[in-house]
Amino acid sequence: MDTMSQKDDAEFSNIRVSQKELSLFGYIINDEFQVDIKSGTVIKLYNTIEYSNHFDCRFSNYLKLRETMMRLLLYLLANASFNYVSNQELLVHVWEHYNLSSSSTRLTQVMSELKARLTTIGIDESFIRASRGKGYTLQGALIVPLYIFLGTAS
């Protein structure tokens, strides 16, 4: 994900607290993983030696996501912790708002690849749950947004 579009995505999440402005930096998932918007990465916070049954190799502690995949993850983190997010909502906010063509097939493909990539750093595949007719939700996860201090709001 390039730095400018990540920065643009994060800017909608600026908040003011007593004349001080904060900007969304990323998220912490289950006190184990950090999602960094600017770098487009997911990082496992604790180094543990684990082995993947699927590939018989070590889990990575660092995962770089492509731009659309990162937008999809960020939208889910912001909106799917307590509710389902519809397929149509994802298509609009992840693809169409960025002048990309969208389709249910493309959503399914990117979601499947996102889930597979997240498992390589130790996030369970059931973390993102699909429900036919409802959309997607995040299952059993504690999601904590992280903000950075930008300075005094004008």
Q: What's the pLDDT at 62?
A: 86
Q: How many CB atoms lie within 10 A of CB 29?
A: 22
- In the predicted structure, residue 34 carries a pLDDT above the cut 50: yes
Region 3-147: CATH code: 1.10.10.10
Residue 126 in contact with residue 64, Cβ under 8 Å? no
| CA distance readout (Å), 114 to 16, 128, 131 | 32, 9, 17
| Residue with more model confidence, 52 or 100 | 100
- In the predicted structure, residue 27 carries a pLDDT above the cut 90: yes
What are the pLDDT digits (tens) for 5-23?
Answer: 444 444 455 555 555 688 8
pLDDT classification of 152: cutoffs 50, 70, 90: low
In the chain, what are the domain boundaries? 3-147
What are the pLDDT digits (tens) for 100-136?
Answer: 999 999 999 999 999 999 999 999 989 999 998 889 9
| CA distance readout (Å), 52 to 115, 117, 120, 147 | 15, 12, 7, 33
Residue 130 in contact with residue 87, Cβ under 8 Å? no
How confident is the prediction for the chain on average, in pLDDT? 83
pLDDT classification of 46: cutoffs 50, 70, 90: confident
